[in-house]
Structure 1
Amino acid sequence: MTAKPLRPTSFDVAERAGVSQSTVSRALRNSAGVNAETRARVAAAARELGYVVDRHASSLRLKSSETIALVTICRPGEDRSAINPFYFALLGSIAAATSARGFNLLVSFQESAANFRADFVASGLADAMIVIGTTSNRAAWDYFAEAQASGLDFVCWGSPGDPFRWMRSDNEGGARLAADHLVASGRRRIAFVGPEKSPQRQFDERRDAFFDAVAAHGIEPLFIAPPPAPDRHAEGVAAAAALLAAKPDVDAIFAASDMLALGLLQGLSDAGRRVPQDVALIGFDGIRAGTLAHPALSTLEPDIDAAGEALVAMALEDHAHTRTGTRIPVRLAVRGTG
């Protein structure tokens, strides 16, 4: 029996045209910001591969719901307003990418066995499912691991890793950007603040790559794991006190996340340390709250629009999820903290 050929995806078009998947999505929607030459190259690649963007096209797994389910995992008992703002930004980009394809978005906040649910596709409520949210809720990810093993289908952002079909920021590339910038700025007593071992693989990737990059400059990196606290901001405040007690001469910090960095910023200020004059500070996530801090937080910004478009494309188009492990590019946004 001859195997049925895989239908082309927007990732295949991107590879053929030599552009990112998000550029393909924007070009085929005639969005502003894509020049004529790139638009023509993408269109040509799509024609050559037989790829068509249409909500009724055979390249999409369209059944009857015209809906994508988005599960956001929360901490048990967490007020929805306390969810990491990064996930709300990602939710917004997924909503925009979903709408651009003519689909609806069903959003489900889940925190415990009382409301865990992974059968949105199997029950006909949705044509595809995406899972995002905190990986500190171990029970939730155990539930979704069992759901996937049972045959239920979905893709994830920043999952704990295997066996999930996942997509993440370029954590290692971002960590190298942070290290190189701090060293080039003359900093020599450089610390990483983040979990020593975390179910959130992105934290481990950021830490390990940062250590390697700092060491490559001939500098021994410092490390502080945040003391236990109710949330990342509170962890950052406590970590600042612990770091200054252990390494009072620290002159630069790379934090595993922006919320942690904002807590560090407060803790450094409480201790009378000037940022960036005494201590430079860089976070990771690019949340809007960082731009409102004083001074504004320097950070690694993932391309959130690209992340949303790629997650929707993987969920709808990539039947075998061969694009698992996709990395979303990040850029260093240097602001007031150094």
Structure 2
Amino acid sequence: MTARPLRPTSFDVAERAGVSQSTVSRALRGSPGVNAETRARVTAAAREMGYVVDRHASSLRLKSSETIALVTICRPGEDRSAINPFYFALLGSIAAATSARGFNLLVSFQESEANFRADFVASGLADAMIVIGTTSNRAAWDYFGEAQASGLDFVCWGSPGEPFRWMRSDNEGGARLAAEHLLASGRRNIAFIGPQKSPQRQFDERRDAFAAALAPHGITPHIVAPPAASDRHAQGVAAARQLLADHPDIDAIFAASDMLALGVLQGVKEMGCRVPQDVALIGFDGIRAGTLADPALTTLEPDLDAAGEALVAMALEDDAHTRTGTRIPVRLAVRGTA
């Protein structure tokens, strides 16, 4: 019987690369304590020898699952395909940042008491947890608030605030960019459309900073709270109709989110106005659907790569990799609507 060839070990890789076995482990784990030259040498040696890290054994030794749990909060009864595309884009950036560290991503969609869960870390299924999703589901945020108060730790994107550890876009900087762009294009009869009593603090930040940027120019924007509707798009349609019926001289609108803005775009057209000739429009979030609108949506676009990296770093309490703290930079993506 022919003997099965022995699999190379981390000690074999260490000998070839001229480093210690612990350095091999740290280099292949992506530890920031290993410099780029050494990591490249170890990686090359492992590849040449056909060495593959035994993730299961490594996890047992380190008492680590090498997994990050990502909870996405949905509206009760919401079809998964109807979730705000921004959260799917953010999920993708978190997945990329997780994979870059050699971790797995466990994704849990949660909407009601029947599936609320916050003990992924405590149960050993994950090393850290991130929560994203709609803040309109108050029952979910009440549940996670109680979970955090009980000692279960996690980080959130755009949460209702205290007691959560949160991260958001630079909402105020983005709103100023929107105001400056509209002013520079000669717009003076300006409105803001967005929720006024939402637990999502980012909407308040965008509205207040937008109004503050217009004030030195003697402009007070019309503030419109979207009427109740099934989703943000439907809210935007109804809000645009209401706004233009009451104020037909409006020549620019800043919408609090892209999904809202896409509804506003439809509503403005239904009122017989041209975009951008009669009414300029700017959204916020940078979702892909905005590029497919007619005309394409001008928007404030967060750096989602930075958001994913920073959320993973914050969740793992890896200060060396936290690039932007709790605010993620945004840029104005100028397209057809403004």
TM-score, normalized by length of structure 1? 0.80
Counterpart amino acid of residue 260 in structure 2:
L
Counterpart amino acid of residue 188 in structure 2:
R
1:93 aligns with 2:101: no
Q: Counterpart in 2 of 1:65?
A: 65
Q: Structure 1 residue 188: deviation in Å?
A: 0.2
Q: Counterpart in 1 of 2:243?
A: 243
1:263 aligns with 2:275: no
Cα pair 2:310 2:323 within 8 Å, conserved: no
Equivalent residues in 2 for 1:180-195 (5 A)?
180-195=180-195
Q: State how many pairs are aligned.
A: 282
Q: Counterpart in 2 of 1:12?
A: none
Cα pair 1:255 1:284 within 8 Å, conserved: yes
Cα pair 1:300 1:331 within 8 Å, conserved: yes
Q: Structure 1 residue 64: deviation in Å?
A: 2.4
Q: Where in structure 1 are there 5+ consecutive unaligned residues?
A: 1-24, 31-54, 56-61
Q: Structure 1 residue 63: deviation in Å?
A: 3.2
Q: Counterpart in 1 of 2:168?
A: 168
Q: Residues of 2 paired with 1:121 and 1:236: CA distance? A: 39
SS state of the match for residue 317, structure 1? Answer: coil
Cα distance change, pair 136–324 in 1 and its aligned pair in 2 (3 A)? farther
Q: Structure 1 residue 325: deviation in Å?
A: 6.4
Q: Structure 1 residue 107: deviation in Å?
A: 0.0
Equivalent residues in 2 for 1:154-165 (5 A)?
154-165=154-165
Q: Residues of 2 paired with 1:274 and 1:324: CA distance? A: 39
Cα pair 2:310 2:325 within 8 Å, conserved: no
SS state of the match for residue 93, structure 1? Answer: helix
In the TM superposition, what whole-angstrom CA distance separates every residue of 1:123-165 from its partner, at most 9, and x where no partner exists?
Answer: 0000000000000000000000000000001000000001100
Displacement over 2 Å in runs of 4+: 322-325
Q: Counterpart in 2 of 1:282?
A: 282
Q: Structure 1 residue 318: deviation in Å?
A: 4.4
Q: Structure 1 residue 68: deviation in Å?
A: 0.2
Q: Counterpart in 1 of 2:196?
A: 196
Cα pair 1:165 1:324 within 8 Å, conserved: no
SS state of the match for residue 316, structure 2? Answer: helix
Q: Counterpart in 2 of 1:336?
A: 336
Q: Structure 1 residue 197: deviation in Å?
A: 2.0
Q: CA RMSD in A?
A: 2.2
Q: Counterpart in 1 of 2:214?
A: 214
Equivalent residues in 2 for 1:80-119 (5 A)?
80-119=80-119
Q: Residues of 2 paired with 1:285 and 1:110: CA distance? A: 22
Cα distance change, pair 250–318 in 1 and its aligned pair in 2 (3 A)? same
Cα pair 2:306 2:323 within 8 Å, conserved: no
SS state of the match for residue 202, structure 2? Answer: helix
Identity, in percent, stands at 86
Counterpart amino acid of residue 142 in structure 2:
D
